[in-house]
Amino acid sequence: MALTWTWYLVSRHPDVEARLHAELDRALHGGSPAAADLVQLPYTEMVVREAMRLYPPAAGFAREPIEDVTIGGYTVPKGSLVTVNTYALHRDPRFFEEPERFNPERFAAGWEDRTPRYASLPFGGGPRVCIGNGFAMMEARLILATVARRWRLTLEPGQAVVPMQLVTTRRRDGIRMPLHRRYERDHEPVALG
């Protein structure tokens, strides 16, 4: 889901796509990315983080207090269901300027210092934060770099892309996107890795 929304957003923002391709061409010299290359791909990471802000794959999560607790002036009785709507939180203008805009620059180096600690929660937070966080970010960046290095994905016309929240944020029936080679075979920088 993280990558579906990433490609959907990239296809609709040619400026972001061009910058992503430029970074991949510059850093990978035509080869397939390996984990060691990720440090050279900061923009690729910014794109994934910004896509997960607008379309958090885990749209929310829940907690149940084991005793009565006061949160922000509200008394929450023991046993209540408390839900955190990550999707709404990530689009709150108090924390993200022009929240509806897809702008990977928000996640340029130092974003953690510019953003309130619990404003960005694609992997949850606190003691039960996702234990797959680092692994998921690594594979998302590697897959995006591996594919986007050679392919462009465009949005097939005539689709109403409306997000649906069913534990994860998805579009019913998926999103159809044909692939286009970025290079003619003769000009491919390297053979398939």
Q: Which residues bind ligand HEM (CB under 6 A)?
A: 2, 57-58, 61, 122-124, 128, 130-132, 135-136
Helix (H, G, I), strand (E, B) or coil at 65: coil
> CB of 75: closest distance to ligand HEM in angstroms?
22
> CB of 188: closest distance to ligand HEM in angstroms?
30
Q: Are strands 168-171 and 163-166 parallel, antiparallel or unpaired?
A: antiparallel
> CB of 158: closest distance to ligand HEM in angstroms?
28
- Of the pair 131, 162, the CB lying nearest ligand HEM is at 131
> CB of 136: closest distance to ligand HEM in angstroms?
4
- Of the pair 16, 144, the CB lying nearest ligand HEM is at 144
Q: Which residues pair with 21 in a beta bridge?
A: none
- Of the pair 27, 48, the CB lying nearest ligand HEM is at 48
> CB of 36: closest distance to ligand HEM in angstroms?
20
Chain centre to alpha carbon of residue 12: 15
Q: Which residues pair with 74 in a beta bridge?
A: 71
The answer to whether residues 29 and 189 touch, using CB atoms and an 8 Å cutoff, is: yes
- Of the pair 2, 148, the CB lying nearest ligand HEM is at 2
The residue of the chain with the least Cβ separation from ligand HEM equals 132
The answer to whether residues 47 and 20 touch, using CB atoms and an 8 Å cutoff, is: yes
- Of the pair 132, 189, the CB lying nearest ligand HEM is at 132
- Of the pair 62, 192, the CB lying nearest ligand HEM is at 62
Separation CA 167–CA 111 (nearest Å): 27
**Where are the strands (E) in the chain, listed by range?**
60-63, 69-71, 74-76, 82-85, 151-153, 163-166, 168-171, 179-181
> CB of 134: closest distance to ligand HEM in angstroms?
9
* Residues in the chain, overall count: 193
Residue for token digits 């923002």?
Answer: 13
